[in-house]
Amino acid sequence: MLKAIYTYELTRLLRRPATYLYFGVFFAMALLSMLGTGGCFDAAPKNRQRICGC
């Protein structure tokens, strides 16, 4: 009985587009938060050194 309720609710949930919309929004927020914490959006340094050393 519990398995039937669980499968019904799961299939009903996965058919709704809001599920995927919320997943995408929260995934993007988490990704941007982690990138910001890691320093991806820091300002460029003033003394720019070339990568190749030229």
Inside any domain, residue 53: no
Residue 15 placed within a domain: yes
Looking at residue 53, what DSSP letter applies? -
CA distance 36 to 39: 5
Tell me the average pLDDT across 6-35: 94
Task: Please tell me the least confidently modeled range out of 8-12, 21-25, 27-31, 37-41.
Answer: 37-41
Give the pLDDT of residue 38.
84
In angstroms, the Cα distances linking 22 to 5, 26, 39 are: 23, 6, 26
> Which residue range is the domain that position 13 belongs to?
2-37
Alpha helices (runs of H) in 16-53, residue ranges in sequence order = 17-38
Give the residue-averaged pLDDT of 15-21.
Answer: 93
Asked if residue 46 is part of any domain, the answer here is: no
Nearest to 38 by CA among 27, 47, 46, 30: 30
Q: Could you identify the residue written with the tokens 């990568």?
A: 51
Question: How many structural domains comprise the chain?
Answer: 1
Q: What is the pLDDT of residues 37-49, one digit of tens each?
A: 888 877 666 665 6
The answer to whether residue 51 scores a pLDDT higher than 70 is no
Residue 45: inside a domain, yes or no? no
